[in-house]
């Protein structure tokens, strides 16, 4: 799942190439996840997690996908966290992506991908080389998949922040970049603080409204 490319390759350039290939192949029709995984090949599960999270990192209008995408990300990441091989049930493999999905992802996230690809490289092998550490990092990705699937409608950045953690963390895991993984953990802390602050504000507003209604 988290295959490390040989020295001298550019992993994020390859991600861009994968997106271009998918955009050309599935330009005008719906496509199932099963077809996508067949095209992606050996790194299918890891790349699929990144691709499903990318739309929420950029201003792409694809409503109604955070719940199914979050479920798929959570499912794949949890299996790896428990040391199980990548696998998706038939129902999830039959999930359809809308026409021009990959073109929208490519156009919306290209600057973000380009910014990261200049900075990603193997670092901190003690943090990325142990299967136990990688399982912990996968659990982090799975937790953010859970946050992504929560129907927190109307709250700004509730999809964007977990998606950024997923993308940065997954790329760090696949390419053994411990700095990227550490950045993902830091962003996760920011995400939890943001959600906690918002929850605190909502609770306070509810208490004040209750107090006002009761006179």
pLDDT digits (tens, 9 = 90+) for 80-92: 999 888 888 888 8
Model pLDDT for residues 44-93, shown as the tens digit of each residue: 888 899 989 998 887 555 667 788 899 999 999 999 999 888 888 888 88
Q: What are phi and psi of 137, to 5 degrees?
A: -65, -35
How would residue 8 be classed by pLDDT, with cut points 50, 70 and 90?
very low
Q: What integer pLDDT is reported at residue 133 of this predicted model?
A: 92
Predicted structure pTM score: 0.84
Instruction: Give the CA dihedral 54, 55, 58, 60, nearest 10 degrees.
Output: 160
Confidence of residue 38 (pLDDT cuts 50, 70, 90): confident
Residues sharing a CB contact under 8 Å with residue 10, sequence separation 6 or more, in sequence order: 117
Check: CB of residue 74 under 8 Å from CB of residue 141: no
- Measured distance CA(38)–CA(51) in Å, rounded: 14
Check whether 159 has a pLDDT greater than 80: yes
Length of the chain: 215
**Domains of the chain, residue spans:** 11-213
């Amino acid at each position: 799942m988290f295959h490390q490319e040989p020295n001298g390759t550019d992993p994020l350039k390859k991600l861009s190439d994968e997106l271009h290939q998918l955009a050309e192949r599935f330009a005008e029709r719906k496509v199932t996840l099963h077809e996508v995984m067949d095209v992606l090949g050996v790194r299918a599960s890891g790349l699929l997690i990144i691709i499903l999270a990318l739309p929420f990192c950029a201003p792409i209008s694809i409503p109604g996908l955070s719940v199914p995408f979050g479920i798929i990300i959570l499912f794949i990441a949890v299996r790896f966290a428990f040391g199980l091989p990548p696998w998706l049930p038939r129902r999830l493999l039959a999930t359809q992506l809308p026409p021009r999905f990959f073109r929208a992802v490519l156009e919306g996230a290209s600057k973000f991908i380009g910014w990261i690809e200049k900075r990603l490289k193997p670092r901190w092998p003690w943090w990325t080389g142990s299967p136990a550490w990688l399982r912990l990092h996968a659990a982090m990705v799975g937790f953010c998949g859970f946050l992504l699937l929560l129907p927190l409608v109307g709250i700004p950045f509730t999809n964007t922040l977990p998606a950024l953690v997923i993308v940065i963390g997954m790329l760090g895991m696949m390419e053994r970049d411990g700095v990227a993984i550490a950045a993902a953990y830091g962003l996760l802390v920011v995400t939890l603080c943001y959600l906690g602050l918002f929850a605190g504000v909502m609770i306070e507003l509810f208490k004040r409204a209750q107090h006002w209604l009761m006179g």
